[in-house]
């Protein structure tokens, strides 16, 4: 487990500066309308995703927020400003945590935010610490999905809201993954330092084993799939290519492999899964 965490840390330590240069501060998908047909500037689409998620999960207020897998603090700072809330972000990458802190200072949000290097499967927080736990595209990095979900639930206050959004593979209740699909996933895992992903129904099953209620799920694959086309276009402009050359082979390989995600969505293999719930 330590080995994987170290790989993830090194991957984001090495690549975060470049991703910020190419994508901006929000290291997550964008939202392009329910059926993915709206044309938008990338950052606008990424902000829209945050707002659409908050609407879908009916998050109207929050005072103590945890951002699990905070990257360089894009969502954390947005949520802190949006809700006038205190936000804690955790990441495995010291480089990301430092950059998030620097960005908080620049945005005048140092007083209401803090960024820690911590493992989402063993968080350094007391039970019932937060009234809103937000995890946007970090679950795919977790080796033990059950432990991850247990931790999200543990640190949530009774009556608090959980919103977990993650990469999934297609449901397998009707048909198991084929060898070809498994090979496609293995390549994505290798390039992006992922242990494995599971299906959204499997996440729901885990959630139902925890003290959570009002559990809802949704598949927004169509709404976000166009993002990878946008990323591929932006990754190969001259400025980004120069950045790539200085960021090491692992980052170059990840950029060259963006098409794996694009085709994963096109064939219905990769899914963008949402789960919201309140703690009993």
> Tell me: the pLDDT tens digits for 263-273?
999 999 999 99
Mean pLDDT of 123-136: 98
**pTM as predicted:** 0.93
pLDDT band at 258 (very low <50, low <70, confident <90, very high): confident
Strands (E), the chain: 64-68, 86-91, 113-117, 130-136, 156-169, 212-219, 270-279
Q: Work out the end-to-end distance of the chain between its first and last CA atoms, rounded to an integer number of angstroms.
A: 31
Cβ atoms of 65 and 85 within 8 Å: the answer is: yes
Burial class (CB in 10 A: 0-12, 13-18, 19+), 146: middle
State mean pLDDT over 22-38: 90
The percentage of residues in the chain with a pLDDT greater than 70, rounded to a whole number, is 90
What local confidence, expressed as pLDDT, does residue 242 receive? 59
Is residue 156's pLDDT more than 80? yes
Q: How confident is the model at residue 15 (pLDDT cuts 50, 70, 90)?
A: confident
Which distant-in-sequence residues (6+ apart) come within 8 Å of 135 by Cβ? Answer: 67, 68, 69, 120, 152, 162, 163, 164, 165, 166
* pLDDT at 244 > cutoff 90: no
pLDDT of residue 238: 59
Hey, how many other C-beta atoms are within 10 angstroms of the C-beta on 105?
12
Residue 144 has pLDDT above 60, yes or no: yes
Q: Which two tokens stand for residue 13?
A: 């330590």
| CATH tag for 2-279 (out of 3.40.50.300, 2.70.70.10, 3.40.50.150, 3.60.110.10) | 3.40.50.150
Question: Strand pairing of 113-117 and 86-91?
Answer: parallel
**Residues above pLDDT 90, as percent of the chain:** 77
Instruction: Please give the pLDDT value at position 259.
Output: 86
Domain range annotation of the chain? 2-279
For residue 250, the model assigns a pLDDT of 67
Q: Please say whether the beta carbons of 260 and 190 come within 8 A.
A: no
Predicted local confidence at residue 2, as pLDDT? 59
Lookup result for tokens 């679950």: 139
Spatial neighbors of 97 by CB under 8 A, at least 6 apart, are 70, 89, 91, 115, 116, 117
Does the pLDDT at position 18 exceed 80?
A: no
> Per-residue pLDDT for 109 more than 90?
yes
Quick one: 216 exposed, middle or buried, by C-beta within 10 A (0-12, 13-18, 19+)?
middle
- Tokens for 20, please give them: 């910020």
Confidence label for 257 from pLDDT (cuts 50, 70 and 90): confident
Write the CB contacts of 168 (distance below 8 Å, at least 6 apart in sequence). 197, 198, 199, 200, 203, 270, 271, 272, 273
């Amino acid at each position: 487990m330590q080995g994987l965490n170290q790989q993830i840390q090194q991957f984001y330590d090495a690549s975060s500066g470049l991703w910020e240069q190419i994508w901006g501060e929000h290291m997550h998908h964008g939202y392009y309308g329910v059926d993915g047909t709206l044309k938008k500037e990338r950052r606008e689409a990424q902000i829209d995703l945050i707002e659409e998620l908050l609407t879908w999960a009916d998050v109207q207020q929050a005072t103590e927020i945890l951002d699990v897998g905070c990257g360089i603090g894009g969502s954390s700072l947005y949520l802190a400003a949006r809700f006038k809330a205190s936000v804690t972000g955790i990441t495995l990458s010291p480089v990301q945590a430092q950059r998030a802190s620097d960005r908080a200072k620049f945005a005048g949000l140092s007083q209401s935010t803090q960024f820690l290097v911590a493992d989402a499967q063993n968080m350094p927080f007391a039970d019932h610490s937060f009234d809103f736990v937000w995890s946007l595209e970090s679950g795919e990095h977790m080796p033990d999905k059950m432990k991850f979900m247990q931790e999200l639930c543990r640190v949530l206050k009774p009556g608090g809201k959980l919103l977990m959004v993650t990469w999934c593979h297609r449901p397998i209740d009707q048909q198991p993954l084929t060898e070809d699909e498994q090979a496609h996933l293995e390549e994505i895992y290798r390039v992006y330092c992922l242990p494995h992903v599971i299906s959204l129904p499997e996440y729901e099953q885990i959630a139902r084993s925890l003290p959570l209620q009002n559990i809802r799920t949704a598949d927004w694959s169509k709404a976000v799939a166009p993002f990878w086309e946008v990323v591929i276009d932006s990754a190969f402009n001259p400025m980004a290519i120069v950045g790539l050359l200085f960021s090491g082979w692992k980052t170059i390989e990840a950029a060259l492999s963006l098409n794996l995600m694009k085709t994963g969505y096109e064939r219905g293999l990769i899914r963008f899964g949402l789960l919201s719930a309140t703690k009993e």
